[in-house]
Each structure stands twice: as structure tokens, then as C-alpha cells.
Amino acid sequence: MQPGQSHWLTTLNKPKNRRVASLLALAGAIAPVSGLHKFYLRQPGWGVLYLLLSWTPIPRVASGIEAVWYLFQDSDEFDSRFNLGQGDGAGSARISPPEIIPGQVGAIADALRQLDQLRADGLLSEYEFEQKRRQLLDRIG
């Protein structure tokens, strides 16, 4: 843990497990409150929506479908979708990032500016922007 970084923050940055996501989604299909799996998978907007609609059967049905979907999803597909391709060490090999070429840092900075412009124009959601931003920054270090 880095100095000044709280324990819950390091927990949030750990790769997500598809079995845990499936169990949380299944719990949301059974329990009166749904959406905990969305918070676990770093999708707080969807989690809030599920909570707001918890008086209807919609989030419970969606949670049940997602529980099955997460469980039967390939580990690599789950990792690329919810762990930014990092993997959780179970069933997926970690791929080391490519070596940094000095000119590449400038290209990555340009790509980040373009991503920010797409987000500002409303063509990328905050979640999509954050995923792509992390992928680009992972190439640097």
C-alpha cells in the first residue's frame, strides 16, 4: 500500500472476480434490493439505477440474467470487459505491457487529449473514457 492510500482504495483497484460478480447478481435477483454487483464491477451509475428501480421487477430479472451471463462468460472476456484486460490470475495469463518507445509517450498524450475531446462532445461515457484512459496509461508505466 502506498503512503496516504487507504485500504478500501486498494481493494477497489484489485481485479474483479467473475464468480463474486455472479453471486452478487444472483443475490440481487433473490433479495429485495438489486445492484450490488454493479457497484462491485465499478459501474456505480448502473448500481444507482438498479437501486432506484428496486420497487419494480426489472432489476431483479436483469440481475438474474447477468448472474448467468457472468458465470458462463469466458474468463478472458470477463477480464477484458471488467478488469481492463488485467485478469484476476484465475484462468488468464497476464500479458506484460509492451516496452515504451520514447516517441510513443507523445502519441499516448495525443490519444488522451482526443479521448477527452470525445468525452466532452458526449461521444464517450465516463466509464468508457476511464477504461480507455487506463489502458493508455498502462502502456506508459
Same domain, 131 and 65: no
Say yes or no to pLDDT of 74 above 60: yes
Residues 60 and 24 in one domain: yes
Query: Is residue 63 domain-shared with residue 129, that is, in the same domain?
Result: no
**38 in a domain, yes or no?**
yes
Instruction: Indicate whether 124 pLDDT > 70.
Output: yes
In a domain, 90, yes or no: no
- The grid cell for 38 is 454493479
Contact status, residue 38 vs residue 22, Cβ threshold 8 Å: no
User: Could you tell me if 83 and 94 are in contact, meaning their C-beta atoms sit under 8 angstroms apart?
Assistant: no
For residue 85, pLDDT over 80 is answered with: no
Predicted TM-score (pTM) above 0.85: no
| pLDDT score at 130 | 86
Residue 127 lies in domain: 102-140
Q: Write down how long the chain is.
A: 141
Residue 113 maps to a domain: yes
C-alpha distances out from residue 18 to 42, 68, 83, 87, 120, Å: 13, 10, 10, 10, 32
Whole-number pLDDT of residue 47: 86
